[in-house]
Amino acid sequence: MIRYAIPAAVLATALPMTAQAAEIQIAATGPVVELTVMEEVDAAPDMVTVGAGVSSEAPTAVEALRQNSRAMRSVIERIKSLGVAERDIQTSSINLNARYDYDQQRQEQIFRGYQASNRVTIKLRDIDETGEVLDALVVAGATDLNGPRFGLENDESAKAAARRAAIKRAEAQAREYASLAGYSNVRLLEINESMQGRSGPQPIVVTGSRMMASDESAPVEPGTISTGVSITVKYEMTR
């Protein structure tokens, strides 16, 4: 949460502050109205992240991990061949677990070997390539996919637009309350801000038999991203 205390010397200006000004609290002589306002701005996403994983099974832990490492190297090489930079490929998890099945007749756990898994998160800066990349991952050996999850590489302009809209609405509401109470104006005393971010559609998880390579790339619709701010403001009612 970002907290702004507005010094008297700059009440007539926008919101410039210094670290020292942020410590100043203003004593109100008139009634104070406190409001919470949230505003969101929709913007087209400019990046997308997808997750890809490989699972391997073998009788021994060493062999399961070796098989999995070979398969994941193939997937990573394919990702790089599509033009994805190394900085946009990040290992998110590596797991190795013993596998057991429960034998109902014998009522005991039966050891079945080991399962190794490796997952990477991939950032794509060209959204139009998402479908092609998803298909390529499956062909390269990925056994599960997660995503896509759309976002904004730089959401500062969207946040600024939401902030302006929130301040404008908060002041209008404060003036309305002041008018109803018999006052002619308002004076901004304090702003508390928290950021809100909402991505596009929920990620789609695709695993196992649901993934099959096709002649056409998977259809991907980026939609829009909602970015917003929530502010709590205090206004003093003035004559």
Per-residue pLDDT band for 18 (boundaries 50, 70, 90) equals very low
Range of the domain at 78: 47-151
Q: Which residue has the higher pLDDT, 210 or 156?
A: 156
Q: Do residues 130 and 72 both lie within one domain?
A: yes
Q: Do residues 56 and 137 both lie within one domain?
A: yes
Q: 61-84: per-residue pLDDT in tens?
A: 999 999 999 999 999 999 999 999
Q: Which residue has the higher pLDDT, 17 or 220?
A: 220
Per-residue pLDDT band for 107 (boundaries 50, 70, 90) equals confident
Q: Do residues 79 and 137 both lie within one domain?
A: yes
> pLDDT at position 106, please?
84
> pLDDT at position 91, please?
96
Mean pLDDT of the 19-48 span: 80
> pLDDT at position 211, please?
42
Q: Do residues 147 and 77 both lie within one domain?
A: yes
Tell me if 6 sits within 8 A of 190, measured CB to CB. yes
Nearest to 91 by CA among 129, 53, 48: 53
**Rounded to whole angstroms, what are the CA distances from 182 to 29, 31, 175, 186, 237?**
15, 11, 10, 11, 9
Per-residue pLDDT band for 214 (boundaries 50, 70, 90) equals very low
Look at residue 13 and give its three-state secondary structure: coil
Q: Do residues 53 and 38 both lie within one domain?
A: no
> pLDDT at position 105, please?
84
Task: Tell me what the pLDDT averaged over the chain comes to.
Answer: 84
> Does 11 score more than 60 pLDDT?
no
Question: Model's pTM, two decimal places?
Answer: 0.66
Q: Do residues 13 and 102 both lie within one domain?
A: no
Look at residue 184 and give its three-state secondary structure: coil
Q: Do residues 76 and 40 both lie within one domain?
A: no
Tally of domains in the chain? 2
Mean pLDDT of the 42-59 span: 95
Q: Do residues 177 and 144 both lie within one domain?
A: no
Q: What is the DSSP-derived secondary structure letter of residue 217? A: P
